[in-house]
Structure 1
Amino acid sequence: MTDKITDQPEVDPEDLHFVMSHSEAVARELTRLRALVNERDALRAKLEAAVGAMTPSGDTKAAYMGKFSFPITLYHPKLGEETRRVSVPWTCIKEIMAMIHARASRAKIKGEADDTR
């Protein structure tokens, strides 16, 4: 319920009395809740960064192209053996990122109800 003049929630006198008589407990609870909100915000930021790192874009292309390679050994009867490094193409990196993204989106969240009816 709100006060019609100030449009602010009405305060129940009993609630106000409880808060005033338990100010230390209320302050502790507010501190705990603020810490939880800060932790949630930090986790949200980490999640956004992780999703961004696994989403194909110009930034990820610039960050990952040339970072992944594998050795290939070539043999020539007269010249002998030579090992070269071959870069993984961007298209393959994008496919890997898409597979990671798809698997992560199917993952169950701890405590979430199972919807496999």
Structure 2
Amino acid sequence: MAHMHITAWTLGLILFIIALNLYKKRNQKIATIAHMVLRMIYLFIIITGGQLTWDYFQGYEMPIFGEVIVKAIAGGWIVVMMELILTGTKKGKANRADWIQFWIALVIVIILGFFRLPMGFLFFQ
């Protein structure tokens, strides 16, 4: 499940960058298509992330639950920020605060997901 989740958010980030660049170039039709596909990927990210969260609650003990919950909230926060950044860019609005929140949430998720929690890189050795 972890590999499916990583694949889903990697595709999500790639589509986010593509849609963002298309909106900035004022190519609205293709950008809207990429944005709609990204919204479908959001669903896959949320479903696989929810399954991973459930797996953590089923297979591990109490001390990591707080970090799992923070990672889940930050993951949802990233999805919301990606959507707000794209809609703001589409409307031509400045969205510096959204970008700051996106980067903070992304750092939290990467640190917890890859380096702190048991299904991350440090535990696959």
Same fold (TM over 0.5): no
Give the alignment's TM-score, normalised by structure 2. Answer: 0.32
* Structure (1 or 2) with the greater helix fraction: 2
Larger radius of gyration: 1
Give the alignment's TM-score, normalised by structure 1. Answer: 0.34
